[in-house]
Amino acid sequence: MSDAVELPPQLDLIDGAWVAADVVRTDAAGATRWIEHASTGGRVQEQRSSSADAIERALAASWRVHDAGVWSSLTGDERATYLDAMADHLESAVPKVAALESVESGATIGITSMLGFILHGAFRLAAAQLRDGVLSTRFEGGAGDVEVERLGWGPALLLCPWNAPAPMAAHKAASALAAGCPVIIKPPERAPHGTASIGEAAIAAGLPDGVVQILHGGPEVAIVLLEDQRIRCVSFTGGLEGGRAVGHACAEGLKPAQLELGGHGPLVVLDDAEPDQVAQAAVALLTTLNGQWCRALGRLLLPESRRGEYLDAVTAALGQVVLGDPLDPATQMGPIVHSEHLSMLRGRIDALVAAGGTVIAPTPLPDAAGNWLAPTLIDGLDPSQTVDELFGPVATVHSFGTDVEAVALANGTDYGLEAYVLGADTERAMAVARRIRAGEVKVNGVSPMNLHLMAPRPAFGLSGLAEEGTAETIEFFSGNRVVGVEGSM
């Protein structure tokens, strides 16, 4: 397995200066926590946290920028110019970032390179929206125009996931900066390095000191930031447990919270779908980002009339998946991000088997050390046993007799992020899709990209609060101020 990518040091960016994150993270027993090379399982760098002094200096700088209007007082066009300059720098950084995040997260270089478009594209999109007037609306009033201006809430805390750290941080940061908010980014402790590119871009583009800052650590750092009243809004992408903690902290301070918490995506296969299409879709949903993404396959729902045929096709396709070094372009699926996450997934699989499930996992594992797990289907369980997200390349198989039963199975969890429907009769497939309770339902497609660049990315139920999107995330980081002459007394 390749170990050619050397991890740089973990550096905080505080008020325009890079400083070492100098606290070594430990677990409850006092043992050091490590970043792992996912392909070898080897410990490659200690996880680091920002010191209490560093956190305070970052908060003070962010508040100074906000209080003085250093960033928010700029016009939309002026902020857009800065964002475009950041995008220019980030575009050249994509190969380096993609390689770093492939090593740390285990995602294949193909997917990290594809998602790398978001790294610079998010800033160009945000700049374009500013120039198009996303923050300003006018209504004709009796005594002149009524002005509606969106104003940034103030210092924004961005808490980013480890499956696509830099692209997710870029989307959040570009949106918050467009809204006029200074940002503090906390990258994920298991994969922190790629996000530094956003700080480097801010410096290269000449943003004022303190507008973009980066701090390191885990929940222990996040909670200090969350509870500080100088943080005025929070965007979090991660698991349900973390999302609930963020939500509670934000409720105490009455801070806007954007929470994208995961999903348990159903793939509804109608009885007129082609077996090859079913196999390709199921395999893609199990292997993209190594199954470690919120829109991955949770339940494979097959019609009873063709159940065996479809399941055989998926099983055969899984047997052909190339599992290996994520930096090798020929690899279709890489390793699990960390040995702790692998242990959790194996435990969940064992529990489902103990409950009566049968494992289908024909993909050959590499003959090498590393955090390897074959993409896995588990058959034979009652749907009531499979209502929770696993966040890995593991899904359960269930059967239905009618379209009504298929919809009931698809809606049979408290999550509602992404769902998929396959069928040759597009009108019928769309009719099924319209009855599924999820933020996005894709018919005859399973790519990680959105159905439309400008469409919102909603989340229902346990999947989150405050929808994301190209425009929606900018709107989240800002509130309306209405000003006008009433015209009568």
- Predicted pLDDT at 1: 40
Query: Which two three-digit tokens encode residue 152?
Result: 């940034």
Query: Which two three-digit tokens encode residue 473?
Result: 């995330």
Please give the Cα distance from 397 to 61 (Å, whole number): 52
**What are the CA-CA distances from residue 176 to residues 156, 200, 221, 352, 469 (Å)?**
7, 17, 21, 41, 12
Please give the Cα distance from 420 to 355 (Å, whole number): 27
Enumerate the β-bridge partners of residue 139: 146
Please give the Cα distance from 187 to 103 (Å, whole number): 16
Please give the Cα distance from 453 to 13 (Å, whole number): 31
- Predicted pLDDT at 144: 86
Residue 117 DSSP SS3: helix
pLDDT in tens, 256-265: 999 999 899 9
Enumerate the β-bridge partners of residue 150: 480
pLDDT in tens, 42-58: 999 999 999 999 999 99
Query: Which two three-digit tokens encode residue 136?
Result: 């300003």
- H or E segment to which residue 483 belongs: strand 478-483
pLDDT in tens, 210-254: 999 999 999 999 999 999 999 999 999 999 999 999 999 999 999
Mean pLDDT, rounded, for 155-176: 97
DSSP string spanning 348-363?
HHHHHHHTT-EEE--P
Q: Are 278 and 310 in contact (CB under 8 A)?
A: yes
Q: Are 89 and 199 in contact (CB under 8 A)?
A: no
* 326 DSSP assignment: T
- H or E segment to which residue 12 belongs: strand 11-14
> Alpha helices, DSSP H only, in 355-467?
403-410, 426-433
**Global pTM value:** 0.95
Residue 337 DSSP SS3: coil
Residue 178 buriedness (CB in 10 A; 0-12 / 13-18 / 19+): buried
Longest Cα–Cα distance of the chain, Å, equals 82
Query: Which two three-digit tokens encode residue 450?
Result: 């959105």
Enumerate the β-bridge partners of residue 359: 378
Please give the Cα distance from 469 to 456 (Å, whole number): 4
pLDDT band (50, 70, 90) for residue 4: low
Please give the Cα distance from 122 to 166 (Å, whole number): 11
CA angle, corner 263, sides to 283 and 272, nearest 5?
45
Please give the Cα distance from 170 to 119 (Å, whole number): 5
Please give the Cα distance from 34 to 11 (Å, whole number): 16
**What are the CA-CA distances from residue 132 to residues 77, 315, 470 (Å)?**
9, 49, 13
pLDDT in tens, 86-121: 999 999 999 999 999 999 999 999 999 999 999 999
Q: Are 5 and 104 in contact (CB under 8 A)?
A: no
Q: Are 76 and 34 in contact (CB under 8 A)?
A: no
Mean predicted lDDT score pLDDT of the chain: 95
How far from the centroid of its chain's Cα atoms is residue 479's Cα? 24
Please give the Cα distance from 416 to 195 (Å, whole number): 28
Q: Which residue is it, tokens 């900018």?
A: 474
Q: In the chain, what percentage of residues exceed pLDDT 90?
A: 93
Q: Which residue is it, tokens 């946290």?
A: 49
| Closest to 185 (Cα-Cα) out of 145, 150, 228, 231 | 231
Name the phi and psi angles at 374, rounded to 5: -70, 145
- Predicted pLDDT at 141: 84
pLDDT in tens, 313-347: 999 999 999 999 999 999 999 999 999 999 999 99
pLDDT band (50, 70, 90) for residue 368: confident
